Amino acid sequence: MRNIWYYTRLLWVKSMRAGAATGCHQLPERSFFFRQYQFPVCARCCGVLIGESMAIAAAAKKCDVKPEISLLAAETMFLDWFLQHTGKLKSTNGRRLVSGILGGFGCWSLEIAVLKRILKK
């Protein structure tokens, strides 16, 4: 009979494979850890998943987000990435998480708005 740690490790390995399948780079220095286990996606991707979930929840509650707000939120993630990529500013996992939440929310709320317009026609 296998113990709980075997199944915990098995679940973590499967989660890491699923995270890699999303296209996440999974760099340890850009990821959160819980105890000894690295999250299956990096801090920014974790934020994007949270932001996307928030946009879906907002749409389900019939909350309309102005496109300008959605664009600004999405651009925030791009700006954080760009400043980090060019070496102008060192990003932290906290900043990556927040910019990911904004980016995920902004992109999905824009996509939902477009879908609503298409379905109205």
* Cα–Cα–Cα angle for 21, 25, 28, rounded to 5 degrees: 120
Query: How confident is the model over 57-115, as pLDDT tens digits?
Result: 999 999 889 999 999 999 999 999 999 999 999 889 999 999 999 999 999 999 999 99
Retrieve residue 48's tokens.
């994007």
The residue assigned the tokens 């707000």 is 69
88-101: b or e for each residue (b if 16 or more CB lie within 10 Å)? Answer: eeebebebbbbbbb
pTM for this prediction: 0.85
- E strands, 48-121, in order: none
Q: What does the pLDDT look like over 33-65, one tens digit per residue?
A: 998 889 999 999 999 999 999 999 999 999 889
What residues does each domain of the chain span? 4-120
